[in-house]
Structure 1
């Protein structure tokens, strides 16, 4: 009895060349699904609020759809082997964010918390701008390793723009007690969102160059190898800068994300648990000391410890968000049928998550976290597959930064850690945060393209070359 072989692929690769599927059609289908999810949520929110489909739905569909199509075509042409999942998942969360911002607009406009005309149209413009930046990076960044050449320039620019709000007058930099903004007229930007990406690039280049020295152990104490004194310099400098940010800008979120990304990348580069433990102890000790000196930070710590102690005053937002999560239950109240707008600033930063928890319930909140986890997981997979050491650390650093931002933001709203004010990636209102996250996605696309791209076939040795090798 003979067996019939299974049908193979329609087009077999040339002999000697590895076959790696590009999966661009998969990406196109996933993008179509992501667009449909966002538009359905937008229509459902409008129907719940006014009893009819929003009149600007066709315009939004055309604007968002054309931008996603352009991004897909550019990725298909300039990064054909890129991961096919990262872009669609980010687009889906972005579309859901647009719907939720539109849902909260009437209440924020009434309370003068949103731009004239609503925050949703502005967020749609920021979405298109973010996708245009992604397109530019995918086209013009030929190789991610080019960024390694400008490591120290990246560090200088990154540190400068992160620290810039601290030296500006409070009238130009302070929002809700944190001095982390630059405001000029009607324009505002949070420079730390872009500075973190520059610093991750520098950390990757620096740790790649100093990896062997930092991996050396000195003495063993209580089962842990503590770093040598000479190697503690870099982590102490970064820690000191993070503490200065916390003291001057009173921004716990930026400080934690900045220092946490460095410590995680340091652990990835050296595989020394002692670095991780040492970094955590340094930050916790420094943050505790600063909290006792800063009234703004102490208010957030007290609200975290006692969220229902002043529900009409300083703990109102956190208490209302916890009520929203409780009201949502497993299945939620349905889009447009919750009361999270009572939180105040519900479409900004971290409290957007409360609307998801109330109106989509625990199931919807879990699905959102799975979406974030997929982006992090694919970024980590890219770090494992890419061949150059700088690319490995860079992709891992981007994954750690994104995961930290999700954890810090969600942890504050869910009362795992004190509130920080960081925006929920792709979900909350804010142009600078949204555009910076699209830059992060663009960098992951370029690195994943390099990771999945097959190596060129080996050049066969000629007789003359074989004789040289033997000699």
Structure 2
């Protein structure tokens, strides 16, 4: 029922957007929503068969975001042609139909992963392989020539003829699996404290190695690929998973301090980062030049006000990259503050459900993996929405499930597939008597023992 409600909202938004942009509802307004709905209903059927105990809220929320993204991209395609030509603009043209194809591929990966991976703990067997794959995917754009990897000054892409993709989107999922496995094996050592400062237990100096290694890796990403958002995402997800594994607030403080110091140091030597920060501090100083993109984003939000101009009633095409990085600003103009808040609540619901899955699943590997997946999705939304609203400097991240492009869409559907698989294990009733001793460490239940506690 939730999925059907999401599909109904997508159909209604499609009709409203076409009425606003074309001045009438044509006979084709239902085509793209129907194609998306068929794919999503197929995904629902697969989930009911292969993961029947999975959280029933996650998939409808993702479906609604994905569907709204496709319909809004269609609305942007219509905005690029003259008003009198819009009623005859073919439905199977523009970026919207490509987004439908990417959705079909992404949902295919989603269903394939659910069918192949029947137990999330089996992923831990390939943790080191996934870690190596993740490192290679992150490093590839940095070592390739700029002609094959650079877009808008950031080396995040791999371009193969007419096709291009961001390997870092897939790297985050692989690295999350590796981090979860590593921290399960090392959490006892990383939990040890050497001294207490202001009531906070800080780790031993010898245990800082993993954090310093990931910090150095993040700084290399920042320097060679010149992308603050990706570096922040990699380092942030590791530090948060480390905190979840050890319950030491000191790791959060150490992580924030080291990353802030590294970012300040990088700002001193990287001109692109200096430009991003200067635009963030005062975009109006060059409103028609370097600050144009951010200024138009803020004007779009301001024009939308509380309730927006209505679907199809604004001019989101004025904002550069409205299909990609700034799609949230386009939504903000047409559905207003209340509409964007509702969309953010959808993301928040997915993150909360993912964290509930992490609490409910019985094995430590699943807890860390589900927690890391949920936090990473939330962090990516924060980084991109914070950038387009001038809360933080602009980054090159995409808005999950909304932005045009295949890399982000496929990687995030894979992320959701893993969350669905873990939630199925978390909600599945236990059968039989549990063994007295787990066969593997990642099968063990989470147990926290504090000093001085009674057995």
TM-score in same-fold range (> 0.5) = yes
How far 1:108 moved relative to its partner? Answer: 5.4
How far 1:329 moved relative to its partner? Answer: 1.0
Over the aligned positions, Cα root-mean-square deviation in angstroms equals 1.5
Q: Residue 403 of structure 2: which of 424, 428, 432 is its match?
A: 428
Unaligned segments of structure 1, at least 5 residues = 1-28, 111-115, 460-471
Unaligned segments of structure 2, at least 5 residues = 83-91, 435-455
| Change in CA separation of 1:55 and 1:129 when aligned onto 2, cut-off 3 Å | farther
Q: Distance in 2 between matches of 1:193 and 1:204?
A: 18
Q: Residue 314 of structure 1: which of 290, 296, 317 is its match?
A: 290
Q: Distance in 1 between matches of 2:321 and 2:140?
A: 25
Correspondence for 1:284: 260
Aligned length: 425
**Residue deviations 1:276-302 (CA, integer Å, cap 9, x gap):** 000011111101111221111111110
**Residue deviations 1:385-410 (CA, integer Å, cap 9, x gap):** 00000000000000110010011011
Q: Which has the larger radius of gyration?
A: 1
Q: Residue 68 of structure 2: which of 83, 96, 121 is its match?
A: 96
Q: Distance in 1 between matches of 2:334 and 2:34?
A: 27
User: Residues 207 and 269 of structure 1 are in contact (CA less than 8 Å); yes or no, is this contact kept in structure 2?
Assistant: yes
Is 1:274 the counterpart of 2:250? The answer is: yes
Pairwise mapping of residues 31-430 of structure 1 onto structure 2 (< 5 A)? 31-107=3-79, 117-349=93-325, 351-430=326-405
Q: Distance in 1 between matches of 2:194 and 2:433?
A: 43
User: Residues 38 and 98 of structure 1 are in contact (CA less than 8 Å); yes or no, is this contact kept in structure 2?
Assistant: no
Which has the larger displacement, 55-64 or 160-169? 55-64
**Residue deviations 1:399-435 (CA, integer Å, cap 9, x gap):** 1100100110111111111000200111111111011
How far 1:340 moved relative to its partner? Answer: 2.5
Correspondence for 2:89: none
How far 1:181 moved relative to its partner? Answer: 0.3
User: Residues 336 and 359 of structure 1 are in contact (CA less than 8 Å); yes or no, is this contact kept in structure 2?
Assistant: yes
How far 1:175 moved relative to its partner? Answer: 0.7
Q: Distance in 2 between matches of 1:230 and 1:149?
A: 27
User: Residues 108 and 345 of structure 1 are in contact (CA less than 8 Å); yes or no, is this contact kept in structure 2?
Assistant: no
User: Residues 320 and 340 of structure 1 are in contact (CA less than 8 Å); yes or no, is this contact kept in structure 2?
Assistant: no
Which has the larger displacement, 214-223 or 351-360? 214-223
**Residue deviations 1:85-111 (CA, integer Å, cap 9, x gap):** 00000000111111111111245589x
| Change in CA separation of 1:124 and 1:56 when aligned onto 2, cut-off 3 Å | farther
Q: Distance in 1 between matches of 2:46 and 2:213?
A: 40
